[in-house]
């Protein structure tokens, strides 16, 4: 399985805890929202169509929290055609 597929499936199914190492429940819960934000930014950045990818300036603003991160489009790696 491709890492981006697995991460997106966890994101889509609201199972972000599966992406975290085994840590205390409190630590994990504190990190879930931050992890979700980072994943959403990453999914935007790996879109196949360059015209919908954010600029580096916008990525920095999203990371800093000055720009809201919107829900990314469909799973980016599902758009790729895999050759056999």
pLDDT in tens, 51-76: 999 999 999 999 999 999 999 987 65
The structure tokens 């169509």 sit at 49
Query: Measured between alpha carbons, how far is 42 from 9 in angstroms, rounded to an integer?
Result: 14
Q: How far apart are CA 18 and CA 61, in angstroms?
A: 27
For the stretch 20-56, pLDDT in tens is 765 556 666 667 788 889 999 999 999 989 999 999 9
pTM above 0.95, yes or no: no
């Amino acid at each position: 399985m491709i890492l981006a597929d697995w991460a997106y499936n966890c994101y889509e199914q609201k199972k972000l805890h599966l992406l975290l190492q085994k840590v205390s429940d409190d630590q994990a819960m504190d990190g879930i929202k931050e992890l979700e934000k980072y994943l959403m930014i990453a999914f935007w950045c790996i879109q196949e169509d360059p015209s919908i990818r954010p600029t580096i300036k916008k990525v920095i603003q999203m990371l800093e929290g000055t720009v809201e991160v919107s829900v990314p489009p469909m799973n980016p790696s599902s758009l790729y055609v895999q050759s056999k």
